Structure 1
Amino acid sequence: MLQSLESKQILLAGIVLVVAFVVWWVWGRSKPTPNKREYTDVLSEGAAPAARNNALIDAPSAAALVTPPPGVGTMAGVGEVVAAAAAEEIIEASPAPAPAAEATGDDLGRIKGVGPKLKALLTSLGITTYAQIAAWTDEDIAKIDAQLGTFAGRAKRDNWVEQAKLLASGDTAAYEAKFGKV
């Protein structure tokens, strides 16, 4: 019986050694270090490039080396003052727009696809009523599109003529049924 106990101790010691070896092998071995990237910049090469860069930075610009022709600084700003005064005189001399012209026109902003900028552009082109837009033909739309700039093509795409016909006739129900809420 003593011999079986000794044989078990040897077996137990062997198992402990195997477990210790496995633990050392899994956690104890050295892990490879990750590759580190090396960054280089101008200063990595030495002081000579840095000194050269400082010399370029500290050098006066080419514009500072050029001397202006005589009389340039004496009249600076006079043209701007004259232009501002002329603009004020033109504004004072021009007649104020008649408020009645705006009151007789329709609210073109009710047409889907016509926002404040487009409304102002159409008013500057003399288009102020739904009846004018309702009477447009394909040729008229082409002429207007040429003057709308970035808004070109909106009249056909948003179907302004049909919207204007419904709004000019006052048929709000039909307008809302086809184009949505006014």
Structure 2
Amino acid sequence: MQEFFMDYGLWLLIGLLVVIALVFLLSGKRRDDAETQAPPATVVDAPEVEVAAIPPAAPQPASPPSVSPSAPPVEPDPAPLAAAPEPALQPVAAASDGQADDLLKLKGVGPKLHNLLIELGVTRFSQIADWSDADIAAIDARLGNFKGRPVRDQWVDQAKYLAAGDIAGFEAKYGKL
């Protein structure tokens, strides 16, 4: 028996692989046929909808109406009102003196959000650390697609660590800088 497997083992293995491949292909073909054959669509006759005819509009009078000359002409306002200019973005918190902090160190702040925060006047960790709930709501309303990030990413807590210079505490809670 052992000699049989030694002499014909490779052929038995090839035959077994061919049988497995055929079973796989044939079973897959039946499944594909069932998926591609959609049941015939049934056509339902919809009732016809009657459309009411719209009567033609009455013809306009040929002559324009006469204007009485007794009415005094209306003078335009001396200073026409200009469209109210949109208020520019006011910084929520005044920027403090000194060099701006690298806000990219905050987890959840990328380059786009960094630029947006600078436009809003936020440049220091101490500013973010001092935010109240009202300040967070005011900033959050101006963040557009980044709405909800200050609370979700815990910027105030992160900024407290970074403003105090507690890098070890920051890394213990939020991971490596």
Q: Which has the higher contact order (CA 8 A, sep 6+)?
A: 2
Select the structure of larger CA radius of gyration: 1
Structure having the higher helix fraction is: 1
TM-score of the aligned structures, taking structure 1 as reference length: 0.44
TM-score of the aligned structures, taking structure 2 as reference length: 0.45
